[in-house]
């Protein structure tokens, strides 16, 4: 009786093993394992971001990525229940924190703003083109477009830079700044730099408003005395691609010179988006 039961159990195990092999051969199990990802209905608004930064003796420069994504309205996506990772990985910046905020819906989809704070760590350049999002027990790797980061070697210039317009703009508009020299010495304002495929300007497009007079920035730059404030205007042109929704972001820096060394100061981001104009 015992040997008969043992033989029957062996036959049952063999039968189940044969069934399992047949099931694996007949069905594409990759769809089962990818279901975890496919159920997360999120699409990033395509990005073209360009971020200039610097690193000196102290890594004090932070800058923000202002992104957006659309998702199925049934998903509850918050800062608290979400983990993100920018890809490919790099050691030139650290992701210090992020925040998710509600945006106006886009047709049948909900939209969220995603703010990511990065801190400069090493000189170099890097392009993020994907983002991994984990939320609601699911995860997905999404295409970002291109987020181009350029970290220069140099110290903070101690210039206080105030942008006169901050926000998200549906059409091109100039960059208008107020710059104050908070040093006890004069500095030479040399340039405003940004590398972007979709934002065009040259040094001749930078205007200086000084003593109520407007002049072009010269190749040599101009001197800014201690406690002096000057207004700058960059007449750049933002060129949206035709028939494509895109988030174009610019984070330029002011380049100045003191004791024959270049120094830098960050400018608040300007974001141009054509999906809601």
Q: Where are the domains of the chain?
A: 35-153, 154-277
Nearest to 52 by CA among 145, 200, 135, 154: 154
pLDDT tens digits for range 74-115: 999 999 999 999 999 999 999 999 999 999 998 889 999 999
Mean pLDDT of the chain: 88
181 vs 3: CA distance, rounded Å: 94
Residue 27 is predicted with a pLDDT of 43
Residue 221 is predicted with a pLDDT of 94
- Judged against a pLDDT cut of 60, whether residue 159 lies above it is answered with yes
Asked whether the beta carbons of 200 and 259 are under 8 A apart, the reply is: no
Confidence of residue 213 (pLDDT cuts 50, 70, 90): confident
pLDDT tens digits for range 222-245: 999 999 999 999 999 999 988 888
**Structure token digits, residue 98:** 């992020």
Asked whether the beta carbons of 235 and 201 are under 8 A apart, the reply is: yes
- Judged against a pLDDT cut of 80, whether residue 154 lies above it is answered with yes
Residue 40 is predicted with a pLDDT of 74
248 vs 67: CA distance, rounded Å: 9
134 vs 84: CA distance, rounded Å: 6
Residue 260 is predicted with a pLDDT of 95
Residue 183 is predicted with a pLDDT of 98
Task: Indicate the CATH number of 35-153 among 3.40.50.300, 2.60.120.570, 3.30.200.20, 3.30.70.20.
Answer: 2.60.120.570
Handedness of CA 50, 53, 59, 61 (dihedral sign): negative
198 vs 180: CA distance, rounded Å: 29
Confidence of residue 35 (pLDDT cuts 50, 70, 90): very low
Distances (CA, A) of 53 to 133, 153, 154: 26, 9, 10
Q: Classify 168 in phi/psi space as left (phi over 0), alpha (psi -120 to 50) or beta.
A: beta
What are the backbone angles phi and psi of residue 91, rounded to the nearest 5°? -110, 10
120 vs 207: CA distance, rounded Å: 29
Residue 21 is predicted with a pLDDT of 46
Handedness of CA 111, 85, 148, 233 (dihedral sign): positive
Return the CATH superfamily for domain 154-277: Immunoglobulins (2.60.40.10)
Q: Of all residues in the chain, what percent carry a pLDDT higher than 90?
A: 73
78 three-state secondary structure: coil
Residue 15 is predicted with a pLDDT of 55
239 three-state secondary structure: coil
Model pTM?
A: 0.84
pLDDT tens digits for range 128-147: 999 999 998 889 999 999 99
Q: Of all residues in the chain, what percent carry a pLDDT higher than 70?
A: 85
- DSSP string computed for 254-272: EEEEETTEEEEEE---EEE
83 vs 80: CA distance, rounded Å: 8
Q: Measured at the alpha carbon of residue 138, what is the angle toward residues 137 and 141, in degrees to the nearest 5?
A: 145
Residue 95 is predicted with a pLDDT of 97
Bridge partner list, 207: 216, 233
Torsion of CA 68, 74, 75, 79, to 10 degrees: 70
């Amino acid at each position: 009786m015992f040997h008969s039961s043992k033989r029957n159990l062996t036959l049952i195990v063999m039968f189940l093993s044969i069934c399992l092999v047949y099931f694996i051969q007949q069905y594409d199990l990759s769809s089962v394992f990818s279901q975890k990802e496919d159920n997360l209905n999120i699409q990033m608004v395509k990005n073209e971001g360009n971020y200039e930064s610097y690193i000196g003796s102290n890594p004090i420069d932070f800058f923000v990525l202002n992104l957006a994504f659309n998702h199925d309205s049934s998903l509850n996506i918050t800062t608290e229940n979400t983990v993100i990772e920018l890809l490919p990985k790099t050691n030139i910046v650290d992701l210090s924190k992020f925040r998710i905020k509600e945006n106006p819906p886009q047709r049948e989809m909900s939209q969220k703003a995603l703010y990511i704070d990065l801190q400069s760590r090493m000189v170099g350049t890097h392009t993020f083109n994907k983002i991994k999002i984990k939320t609601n027990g699911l995860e997905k790797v999404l295409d970002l477009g291109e987020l181009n980061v350029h970290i220069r070697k140099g110290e903070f210039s101690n210039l206080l830079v105030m942008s006169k317009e901050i926000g998200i703009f549906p059409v091109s508009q100039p960059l208008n700044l107020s710059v104050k020299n908070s040093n006890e010495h004069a500095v030479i304002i040399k340039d405003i730099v940004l590398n972007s495929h979709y934002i065009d300007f040259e040094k001749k497009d930078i205007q200086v408003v000084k003593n109520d007079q407007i002049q072009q920035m010269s190749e040599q730059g101009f001197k800014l005395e201690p406690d002096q404030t000057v207004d700058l205007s960059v007449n750049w042109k933002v060129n949206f691609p035709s028939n494509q929704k895109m988030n174009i972001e610019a984070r330029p820096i002011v380049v100045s010179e003191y004791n024959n060394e270049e120094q830098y100061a960050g400018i608040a981001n300007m974001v141009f988006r054509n999906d809601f104009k």
